[in-house]
Structure 1
Amino acid sequence: MSTTAIVLAVLLAGIFLLLGSAKLAAVPAMRQAASHAGMTTTHYRLLGTLEVAAAAGLLLGLRITALGAAASAGLILLMAGAVVVHLRSGDPAARCLPAVIVGALAGAHLVALAG
C-alpha cells in the first residue's frame, strides 16, 4: 500500500470519526444542522453511524485493502448525498464545498489503492 493511500486513509478516518461521533452524540450544532436539512435527530444519528463505520473501514483497510476501498466508495456516496441535501435545503453552493472536498479525498484514496 502506498504512502498516499495510508495518509488519506488516516486523514479521512480522523475526519469521519470526529464528525460521525458528533452526530451520534447529537451535539447542538449537529442537531441544528439536521433540523436545517429537514432531518430528524434519528436520521442524523444514522448518518453518524455510517460515518463512524466508514472510519473503521478505512483503518481496517490498512490491512484489508478491499475493506478500505469499500469504505472510500461508501464515503463518496455519502458526500454526494450531502451535496444533494445542501442544495435541496437552499444552501449556497459554497456550503457544499466541504462535502465535495472530502468526497474528492475519498476518491483519491480509492485511486491510490488501485494504483
Structure 2
Amino acid sequence: MFILTVIFAVVTAAVFAFAGYYKVSGAEQQMDEARHLGVEWPAYRLLGGAELLGALGLLIGLWLSWLGVIAAFCLVALAAGALIVHAKAGDRLDAMRPAIGFGALALATLVLRLITV
C-alpha cells in the first residue's frame, strides 16, 4: 500500500508543481485565465505558489507523514476553491475538468496518506 501512496504522492506533486509553475511564471494563458475567472493577477500567482508548496509538502511528506497529510488536504482545498471560482465565473463542466481531475487526484492522495500514516 505504501508504494501506491508514493506513486500517487509523486504524480500529484508533479501535476500541481506543473500548474503552479505556470501560474508563477506569468504565462500568457494563465494571465488570461485569471482575468476570465475575475482573480487579480497577484492573487493568482500566489495560488501558483501555494500549489508549488503543496507539491513540495507532498514529497517531503513521504518522510514526514504528517506533512504529507497536511499538504494533500491543502491541495484538496485549493482544488475545491478552484471549482467554486469556475462556477462563479459561469464556466461549464468541461472548463472545470482540470480542477476536478486535480481535486480527485489530491483527494486520492490524501486518503492514501491517511491510510498509511
TM-score by length of 2: 0.93
What is the 5 A alignment of 1:61-76?
Answer: 61-76=61-76
* Equivalent-residue separation in structure 2 for 1:59 and 1:113 (angstroms): 12
Residue ranges of structure 1 left out of the alignment (5+ in a row): none
Unaligned runs of 5+ in 2: none
* Aligned equivalents of 1:77, 1:114: Cα separation in 2: 16
| Structure 1 runs (4+) greater than 3 angstroms displaced | none
**Inter-partner Cα distance in structure 1 for 2:47 and 2:19:** 10
Contact kept? 1:5, 1:113, Cα under 8 Å: yes
TM-score (norm 1): 0.95
User: Considering only aligned residues, what root-mean-square deviation do their CA atoms show, in Å?
Assistant: 1.1
State the Cα distance separating 1:101 from its structure 2 match. Answer: 1.8
Quick one: percent identity of the two aligned structures? 37
Q: Distance in 1 between matches of 2:113 and 2:9?
A: 10
Matched-pair contact (CA < 8 Å) for 1:37–1:86:
yes
**Structural mapping, 1:55-94, within 5 Å:** 55-94=55-94
Q: Report deviation, 1:4.
A: 1.2
